[in-house]
Amino acid sequence: MNQTRRNLLRLAGLAMAAGAMPGRALAVPAPRKVSIEEFARSVDPVDGLARNWSAVTARGKSGEVNAMTAGWGGLGNAWKKPVCTVYIGPHYTRKLIDETGRFAVTYFEGACRQELTYLGTHTGAEEKDKIAKAGLHLADLGGHPAIAEGGFACVCRVLLRHELSAKDFVDASIPRDIYGSRGWSVLYCAEIESAWKLS
């Protein structure tokens, strides 16, 4: 995580709040599109989510944007495509993903723990300004929203959507121990359409 960039984003936000022209306040470097190969070399396919945490962002059909923290999922390939897999519970972000079939995953390399804890414990169903309240900003990845404070991000198109249930599990301890107290996840396997370096 680039601290200078985070400070710039914060200052740009303050300047905007004080009435500066959008985009004129401070020059925050724009996200740079990178090859899938560079992205795959830079993001840990397992710990990118598990240990380092990530944010899943989606824009609904009315234009509304929301984000949530995600720790389950990974990167790989299927059906001759580079894919990103995530497991999303019955959250507001899931409603927006299902409206458009697209989402982005922002990877933080272990930074922004406090901000991601906020995103992961509050819901956009109740807080329409949840991303700003978390102290985070949006980045524009060719028309798709991601979180500007991250290191890398990918834009994903859903290929497979499967709502999990007890009968899917060969290992019965998972529905018992993990899903006993929470709603079932939807497994999304999505094509990585584009990859970006944010900082």
53 Rama sector, left if φ>0, alpha if ψ -120 to 50, beta otherwise: left
Residue nearest to ligand FMN (CB): 120
Least distance in angstroms from the C-beta of 147 to ligand FMN: 13
The whole-angstrom separation of Cα 94 and Cα 60 is 10
The number of beta carbons lying within 10 Å of the beta carbon of residue 29 is 13
**How far is it, in rounded angstroms, from Cα 108 to Cα 141?**
16
Q: Of 34, 52, 53, 150, which one interacts with ligand FMN (CB under 6 A)?
A: 53
Instruction: State which of positions 166-195 bind ligand FMN (CB under 6 A).
Output: 185
**Contact residue for ligand FMN among 12, 40, 65, 68 (CB under 6 A):** 68
Nearer Cβ to ligand FMN, position 15 or 169? 169
Site string for ligand FMN, 87-126 (x = CB under 6 A): xxx-xxx-----------------------x--xxxxxx-
15-44: which residues touch ligand FMN (CB under 6 A)?
none
Asked if residue 45 binds ligand FMN (CB under 6 A), the reply is no
60 binds ligand FMN (CB under 6 A): no
Q: Which is nearer to ligand FMN, 35 or 123 (CB)?
A: 123
Residues near ligand FMN, by CB under 6 A: 53, 66, 68-72, 87-89, 91-93, 117, 120-125, 130, 185
